[in-house]
Structure 1
Amino acid sequence: MFYWFMKHLVVGPLLVLIFRPWVSGLRHVPAPGGAILASNHLSFSDSVFLPVVVPRPVAFLAKQEYFTGTGPKGWATALFFRLINQIPMDRSGGAASALSLTAGAEVLREGKLLGIYPEGTRSPDGRMYRGKVGVATLALQAGVPVVPVAMIGTDKVQPIGRIIPHVRRVGIIIGPALDFSRYHGQHEDRAVLRTVTDEIMQTLARLSGQEYVPDVYAATVKAQSAQKRSGHAGEDPAPRD
């Protein structure tokens, strides 16, 4: 009810009125059944604009830090994110990330839409970086299509670090669903997962027009930049998928 109320009566109408988002390819979002909406990630507001334009409810995998704050502010933040269908995602890799994907898989098995950012974090400079294989794992485990989504201009509306957004138009390009049923039963094959993930990222790069950096994770670039700013530059290992 809270999600419906915010989308249809409060946030949704305001965003449409102020930012006038344009959408291309909305027909590619399946009317019934589970599907993954795999999107590039330029801004915090990506998770706001996409659900507004998609007719069906969208649950998102969101970084775990949104749900672990303490005190009244932390509790209120966690409650808000849960009410708007955000699911905590541990991005540390390995078993912790695998466990976090379980909740996303359950959403898909229930025939719902799941939003995910394969890069794992927002792009630090507008380029598209190497995707993590969680999106492929979910698609193959649940046997659902992956619908590629390109957010356009959201980094100009709300750059990293900015709370109050700039008022300008944003766009959403939705491409035809990607079918990976040919890899049925191979969700534990790392080579297959990498192949599927790379195909998704290449499709997203074509839709968004972003420069694609296939061999580096966005999180690695962010860590290296932080080290340079602090005066302790050094080689940072790429995070695990």
Structure 2
Amino acid sequence: MDRRRTLVALVVAALSLLLAMGTVAAQSENRDLIDGLEYQLLYVALPLTLFVLLILVYAAVKFHDNDDPQPTTEDPALEITWTVATALILLFVGLSGYSVLVNPYVSPSQALEGEDTSQDGFDSFADLPDTDDEEVHVRGYQWEWQATYPEANVTTESEIVIPADTDVTFWLTSDDVVHSLFVPDLGVKQDAFPGDYTRARTTVSEPGRYDAVCAEFCGAGHSRMDGSIVVVERDTYDEWLAANEGTITDAPDPG
């Protein structure tokens, strides 16, 4: 009876977790892709886990007092079945993961056809290829983030402002050591290397302020190297750029 209650409790807890996760709306294309992959894998892994647990409980109950255990009878059909089943599961996991990894929001090098997305041989932000996205130049240094908007020559410190419902490219570099821009709620993570330029890409649907941190240990002030991604409506973004052209300023209120 205790074993049955434990098993029922595990099933209820797992289903409650699935329902709770499903009620959280993704705020960006990146987060939506990552969450979708997690749900796919979870929906496959959960019934398999419960199936294995049921077999384990059954075997423990049925054979716990067996004083003369015998080896399992050789069964080629059974061995072929579980080998094929395992191969199919691994194939599903591989294809699901691949479909997300090659998406241009997760791997920006797979971006729009015809773009030059190579990140080799660039000496400055001015040498970077043009994209069809709204572009922000992000520079990491011990221990802050600095964002520059090349078209308006606007600069912010520890706040990166982007328009909602717009494809945005972050070009990242570092002045000193390796840093990593990580925005958990948006599913954005990209390293910034000294002397190199890397690309992160996203589109965010919901205006607001999202926490950003450095995810690569970068010295004594690493834990203090945080900031915000401030997402505002497109009109607010354009007005903010026009009003602060050529200045270092604060982010607008996301509303």
TM-score, normalised via structure 1 length = 0.27
Say which structure is richer in strand: 2
Say which structure is richer in helix: 1
Mark the structure with the bigger radius of gyration.
2
TM-score, normalised via structure 2 length = 0.26
Q: Higher relative CO (CA 8 A, sep ≥ 6), structure 1 or 2?
A: 1
